[in-house]
Each structure stands twice: as C-alpha cells, then as structure tokens.
A = this chain, B = another copy of it.
Amino acid sequence: MGLLVNGEAGGTLDPLDRGVSYGDGVFRTLLLRDGRAVCWERHYAKLRADCAAIALACPPSDVLLVELTEAAAGMHVAAGKVIVTRGPGPRGYAPPAHPAATRVVSASPLFTHPTAFRDEGVVVRRCRLRLGIQPRLAGIKHLNRLESVLARMEWSDPVVAEGLLLDVDDHVIEGITTNLFLVHESVLHTPDLSRCGVSGVTRERIIEAAVRERVPVRVASMTWQEVLRAEEVILVNSLIGAWQIRSLESRRWTCGTWTLRFRDWLDDVDD
C-alpha cells in the first residue's frame, strides 16, 4: 500500500494529533482505478461538507488528488482513503486558534470478496449494537467510529458479508460499511439518516439516478419488518458498488433485477 502524511511518504503522526486524542476529523473511502479517483467531484464535495460541519479547513482538491495518485502508484485498482484531522494541539477540547490540519492519504488493495457476493448475493446479520441518536453528527463520515468497530467485532465468520445496524429506537439505519435500499411494490426505500448513520456518495448517486429514471424513492424511517418483507434488499458503497442480500435471519431472497439495475446506474457515468 501507499501512504502519505501531509504529502510525505513514510510520514508519521504527532502523538498530540487531535485525530487520535478526540477523533477530531473526517474521512472518505473511495475507489481508485489506475490512480484515478472515481467520482472524485462527489467525494470531494462530501469531504468539504463534512469538514464544514465540524468547522475544519478542508485541504484543496488538487492536493488530495495528486496524493491519491501517488499513493496508488503501481496499483490497477485500490481502496483510496483520505483522513483529515484538526492536527496537533495542546491538551484540552478547545482547538488551537490556528489549527494546522493533518491529512493522511492512502491506497490499499481491495478486499478480495468471493465472486458469489456479487453474483448471488450476500449473507448478512443483524448487529446487537444499536446506533446512538445524535442529529448533530448524523450523516457525517467523522472519525468517531467506535460504534462501527464494536458492531464489526460481533462476528468473525467470513460467510457473513455485512452487519445491519438499527438505532436505539429500533429504526433500521445502514450496514456497517454500506448504505441500504429496499424494494417494495416497485418503490425504492432507504433509511432517513438525519438522526444517525453515514450518508454515502453511492447512496446519493442511486437516489439521483432513480429520480432521473422516474423510479419512486422514499427516504424515511424504516422498521425491521419492512426489511424482512421487502422484495429485494441491496447494499451499496463506493468500493463494492451494489450487493443484493440473499440471506438474513430466516429470510431468503432469490436474485432479483434491481441489483443489476443499480449497477447499470453506477456504471453509467462517473458522476
């Protein structure tokens, strides 16, 4: 893998970086193809919005793009990651008057998932961990990700591809690393993320494509029963694209048509 800290290969982090002290920062994960960041405009817009949401200066787009390309040197495809923190600071929650943001840019090999995940669908589980309710941080891909870590620690069976997360009020929110859509009576449903969860770029692309194609989309709170009752349930993110769920608790689904349609939408243009 390739990794740069503030543009420097082999760079390390100041132990006083507020990224480690407080998780004071945000990040993005995205697909790199031949050193090119797929859907960069969208990812950068989201990174900038997430930075703004916690009053953090966002590094310039061209700086990050050059560093992603350098990190991915020699890799045909890779998982790019950009972390932006508020940088080093003395003890105390109050940020320094003039913080110097830290950026960690890396490219790692993609996980090698079984081809069946893509072709036949995936087995998922319901996580015991419930997401907390925090509207102030909802949607933001910030560095406070202990919930995701604890949820992912609930299983080690490699057959289980993803865990689904509900919030403390019993609403279905997302997968640990994915957003979720379900199809019911030709309407797409995806959970409202205004109280918790992470709003991903691929979710946004699917919603926009559906609107463009005049497929009705409903963004609202979602119950567990609605998931089990759905005709198809599909997980999306920037690295996997779209996977259909084929098994969840006692429910089984056969391959439907919507996952292919999602992939067409995502392949259509790099928007």
Contact = CB atoms under 8 A, between A and B. Distances in A.
Interface residues of A, number: 62
A146 to B, nearest CB: 5
A153 B94 contact: yes
A129 B85 CA distance: 20
Contacts of A24: 145-146, 149
Contact of A13 (B14, B22, B131, B152): B14
Interface in A1-59: 3, 5, 11-25, 27, 29, 54-55
A137 interface: yes
A130 B136 CA distance: 8
Interface string A144-174: 1111111111001000000000001000000
B151 A21 contact: no
Q: How many identical subunits does the complex contain?
A: 2
B83 A20 contact: yes
A104 interface: yes
Contacts of A151: 93
Nearest to A91: B108
30 contacts: A3-B15, A13-B13, A13-B14, A15-B106, A16-B106, A17-B20, A20-B83, A20-B104, A22-B144, A22-B145, A22-B149, A23-B145, A24-B145, A24-B149, A54-B149, A54-B150, A55-B153, A91-B106, A92-B177, A93-B152, A94-B152, A130-B136, A132-B133, A132-B196, A134-B168, A136-B147, A136-B150, A137-B147, A142-B146, A144-B144
